[in-house]
Structure 1
Amino acid sequence: MVDVGFSILARILKLGFQLNCIILNTLVKGLCLQSKIVEAVKLVNKMGKIGYKPNTVTYGTIINCLCKIGKTNEAIGWFRKMQERNLELDVVMYSTIIDSLCKDKLVTEALNFLSEMISKRIQPNVVTYSSLIQGYCLQNRMHEAVKVFNTMARKGCSPSIVSYNILIHGYCENRRIDEAMSIFREMTNNGMIPDFVTYNTLIGGFCLVGRPKIALELLHEMQGCGQHPNVQTYAILLDGLCKNLHFPEAMALFQAMEDKKLDLDIVVYSILIDGMCNAGKLTTARDLFNALPAKGVQANVWTYNIMIKGLCKEGLLIEASELFEKMEESGCSPDHVTYNTIIKGFLQHNETSWAAKYLQMMVDKGSQQM
């Protein structure tokens, strides 16, 4: 569509019509939406040469795009250009930079921007505060995260569902599940309705600390509140049940997913296949793997690696080797994990000549890709 836009732009110029910043900004935004940041920057630079000064919208579009792709330093450079040109800076612009710095775990730098922002009498909003909370959570500094959360409320800026979810996620990642539940109860007591992100986070948290039965209870609570679990919810819970060796519950959950005719993807099947392999239930894992084509699901490299590892673990090396060959025939190229898995499997069963064969194949493949 952007190419069409440039064609229209060329026609406008050819017909002698006047350009304006709205047209140019639309093209800049279109390039950014297509992740063509280099072309967008070239267009902005060209604007100045043809007599059109980039405005706040232009800079904001570029800064937002750079932050989204993780190029925070470049975004700050454009931000400083805005200051040099005395263009208006607002809470959205500052919050965009602060959010990007926090995602890079550069909370100190983010706080410097916050101080600069406040010195210009620009008040932080819920997005600004939520970004700082996330920054502290990413650094496992939950005490500071809570302080920011409380400051936000004290300043009259009501926490959003996103703010609560970030804080809950931070506690879950740090295995402080009881504190996560405390925040969850506070949220609901304040009239905030949990969304699927809230429940998915808590379900994952309880699985992480080895309490998958409570995670199952949360699934039922979620359904009782009218919040429909998505495939990700089930995948998180299924993974947790398998990793905590609750295989009957895992199979029951999987059956319920199939009964609901959910659009199950390869991630869900791979989780269950992995769980069965780790539990020594290779027959069940093999049956699930072999049933994938009939279900219209294509195995990926992760799935093949799981099965090859499971076969090697049980000493079924010929079958593992056959699956390796089938993997290549199906157009799914083995990766370094595949090679390492099968080499290790043969070595563990003292099949050194076979291990050497696959090692040479891996070396040859690496040479071809160089």
Structure 2
Amino acid sequence: MALLPSTRAITSSAQALDLIPIVNSITSLLQALNPRNPNPKNLSSSPLNRFSPFLDPNLVTIVITKQTNPFHALFFFNWASNPNPNPKNYTHSLRCYEAITNLLLHHSLFYPAINLLKKSQKLSDFFIGKIIKAYGDEGNIKAAIFWFNQAKAIEKDKYLYSFNSILGVLVKANTIDLLRTLFDNVVKEGGFQPDVSSYTILIRGLCKKGMIESAQKVFDEMPCKPNSFTFNTLINGFCKKGDMESARGKVDEAKTVMSEMWLNGVKANAATHLNILKGLCIAGRSAEAIEYFRWMASCNMDLDAKSYIVVVNEYCKLRKIDEAVSLLNGMCGRGISLNVISFNSLFRTLVELNELHRAILLLLQMPQIGCSPNYVSYCTVVCSLCRTEGRMREAGYLVDDMLRNGIGLDATMYGCLLEGYSEAGNEEMAMQVFKEMIGKSYVIGLESFSVFVKMLCSKGMIVKAENFFEDICRTFPAVERDGYRKILDEHQQITQGSIKEHQGEESS
């Protein structure tokens, strides 16, 4: 257990204290006491009494947020509510209540959180809003609505925080009809005026449902001044993925909204421009998207990886590999973290263009330019090599590199390797792959099995083919045995027919 700091090292000012040693000591003690429920019986809190002189809201908040076990935090909070002794007449601040409530709700401990707030008479609009959101995160819409009605009953006309919380829950649950009904009822009741956040959430919900015209109408008629979040929400709605034709009328409307944003004195941020950029790409206006990105860069905007990824993907669609690579180099030059997703788009395009040598080089160079390949990177290139005649040696080299980097093979890649080695007539490697798949309980697909058996039978290894068939049936009893048997019989008949035909030619 960590030792308490010397009393001589402690000043009278709580702000001047180095709280870390005290926090660590309290945490160690709580771990030793190990309370396991909200109200532990026969567990004395007296060992905590030695920390009474150090109590202040800042310390209590830090201790609570440091706990990974919510019951430890609650035990400490309850002790600090009435510490013994209490020379400074310590009382919890609102931040302390917020910290313990957040922790309990995060662990879905609704009853202890609500009970604590009720006992302390802190069950306000602010905390009920947190309860509503927590229930919404769990998908319990009924409980979230119940607590919204509780907020209305408790706070009368002062439940804006709870109102915005229930709106967010309904948007997340995609219950937009209920969202509109609730919103309209609150406006009609006239108890309080929804704020800009309320309208922004409503607009987001309508956009999410594809009701862009309705969202525009709400935006035009909202009685409060929109902020950057409101504008960005509407712009994102115009630019989100939909049918290509409507996406072309909508991006221009988004640009109009952005102009209105400037006229209202609201500064467009990176998220605004990213939405426009995505919209142009979705609408198939690639050239405009690229020009828009160049304009963004020329204005010295704080471009993040997301903006680069959008344009890299667009270059890949246009099969402009050099430009995509150049853009990735530009990201590196600007100190922007490279994203493996962009590289994977490049790999797919290089494979489609049959530029496999270039794909291999890029895959091997990735770590040197600050981005490690992932499973998708390897799988895209390796499986393409397996489908290309004469490239299995390179495929094997990349698999070795992949394993060295701690990335394992799955059934998909094993299947590609099995087919690749079988097509290449390399029975030794094909059988090794087959055995590894069986050993790892990876189901061998009918197509892969067919290619494998064809190779074995063509080399006169009919008995081995039978043995491998039995291995499948023994390892996977639930598999459709008849399908594999049919494939095996067909290849055996073809092989036997070829042998008879060859023997007939020799005898004549």
Shared fold, TM over 0.5:
yes
| Structure 1 residues 6 and 74: alpha-carbon distance in aligned structure 2, compared to 1, 3 A threshold | same
Question: Residue 68 of structure 2 aligns to a residue in which SS?
Answer: helix
Paired letter, 1:112: F
How far apart are residue 87 of structure 1 and its match? 4.3
Pick one of 214, 227, 237 that aligns with 1:195.
227
- Partner of residue 102 from structure 2, selected from 61, 64, 73: 64
Number of the residue aligned with 1:107: 141
The CA RMSD over aligned residues, in Å, is: 3.4
Identify which range, 47-56 or 285-294, moves more after superposition. 47-56
Distance 2:194 2:108 in 1: 29
Task: Give how far 1:55 is off.
Answer: 5.3
Partner residue in 2 for 1:45: 75
Give the residue type in structure 2 aligned to 1:251.
I
Looking at structure 2, the residues matched to 260 and 121 of structure 1 have their Cα atoms a distance apart, in angstroms, of 49
Per the alignment, residue 297 of structure 1 pairs with: 336
Structure of higher RCO (CA pairs closer than 8 Å, 6+ residues apart): 1
CA contact (8 A) 1:171 1:179 kept: yes
1:179-190 equivalences in 2 (<5 Å): 179-187=214-222, 190=223
Of 355, 376, 379, 1:340 maps to 379
Residue 298 to residue 18, structure 1, CA distance change in 2 (3 Å)? closer
Using the TM superposition, give the Cα deviation of residue 301 of structure 1 relative to its aligned residue in structure 2, in angstroms: 1.8
Instruction: Work out whether residues 305 and 337 of structure 2, in 8 Å CA contact, stay in contact via their aligned partners in 1.
Output: yes
State yes or no: 1:318 paired with 2:357: yes
Show the counterpart of 1:27: 59
Describe how 1:268-279 pairs up with structure 2 within 5 A: 268-279=307-318
**Matched-pair contact (CA < 8 Å) for 1:59–1:79:** no
Task: State the Cα distance separating 1:66 from its structure 2 match.
Answer: 4.7
Q: Residues 28, 346 of structure 1: CA spacing in aligned structure 2 closer, same or farther, 3 A cutoff?
A: farther
**1:141, CA displacement in angstroms?**
1.6
> Does residue 214 in structure 1 map to residue 248 in structure 2?
no
Q: 8 Å contact 2:270–2:303 — kept in the other structure?
A: yes
The offset of 1:344, in angstroms, is 4.4
CA distance in 2: counterparts of 1:9 and 1:105, whole angstroms: 35
Structure 1 residue 283: Cα displacement: 3.0
1:1-370 alignment to 2 at 5 Å?
4-7=18-21, 19=53, 23=56, 25-31=57-63, 36-38=66-68, 42-46=72-76, 48=78, 52=83, 57=94, 58-67=96-105, 71=106, 73-83=108-118, 85=119, 87-118=121-152, 125-155=159-189, 156-187=191-222, 190=223, 192-208=224-240, 209=242, 210=247, 211-347=250-386, 349=388, 351=391, 354-355=394-395, 358=398, 362=402, 365-366=406-407
Deviation readout 1:218-261 (Å, 9 max, x if unpaired)? 22222232211111111121122122211222122112212211
Structure 1 stretch displaced more, 340-349 or 129-138: 340-349
Distance 2:16 2:76 in 1: 16
Once the 2 structures are TM-superposed, how far is the Cα of residue 146 of structure 1 from its aligned partner? Answer: 0.9
Of stretches 109-118 and 140-149 in structure 1, the one that deviates more from structure 2 is 109-118
* 1:147–1:275 CA distance, 2 compared to 1 (3 A): same
Instruction: Confirm or deny: 8 A CA contact 1:98 1:131 kept in the other structure.
Output: yes
| TM-score between the two structures when normalised by the length of structure 1 | 0.82
Distance in 2 (alpha carbons) for counterparts of 1:163 and 1:348: 55
Of 268-277 and 1-10, deviating more is 1-10
User: Judging changes above 3 Å, is the alpha-carbon distance between structure 1 residues 363 and 272 closer, same or farther for their aligned structure 2 residues?
Assistant: same
Cα distance, 1:261–1:355 mapped onto 2, change above 3 Å: same
Q: Kindly, what percent of the aligned residue pairs are identical?
A: 23
Judging changes above 3 Å, is the alpha-carbon distance between structure 1 residues 65 and 157 closer, same or farther for their aligned structure 2 residues? farther
Distance 2:392 2:204 in 1: 46
Q: 2:144 & 2:107 partners in 1: Cα distance?
A: 11
Post-superposition shift, 1:287? 2.4
How far is the alpha carbon of 1:185 from its aligned partner? 0.8
Distance across 2 between alignment mates of 1:339 and 1:9: 46
Cα deviation for residue 19 of structure 1 reads 3.1
Q: Which runs of 5 or more structure 1 residues have no equivalent in the other structure?
A: none
Query: Matched residue of 1:297: which SS?
Result: coil
**Cα deviation code 1:93-135 (max 9, x no counterpart):** 2121012222433211112223444555666611111111222
In structure 2, what is the Cα distance between the partners aligned to 1:124 and 1:355? 66
Partner of 1:19: helix, strand, or coil?
helix
User: Aligned letter for 2:331?
Assistant: L
Q: Deviation at 1:265? A: 1.9
Relative to structure 1, is the Cα distance of residues 110 and 56 closer, same or farther in structure 2, using a 3 angstrom cutoff? farther
CA 1:171–1:48: 2 relative to 1, 3 Å: closer
1:188-211 deviation line (CA, Å, top 9, x unaligned): xx2x22212112111211112312
**2:104, 2:112 within 8 Å by CA — same for their partners in 1?**
no
Gaps spanning 5+ residues in structure 2: where?
1-14, 26-46, 85-90, 410-508
Q: 8 Å contact 2:305–2:338 — kept in the other structure?
A: yes
Q: How many residues align?
A: 354
Q: Report the alpha carbon displacement of residue 272 of structure 1 after superposing the two structures with TM.
A: 0.6
**Does the Cα contact within 8 Å between 1:238 and 1:253 map onto a contact in 2?**
yes
- Aligned partners of 2:155, 2:193: CA distance in 1, in Å? 20
TM-score w.r.t. structure 2 length? 0.62
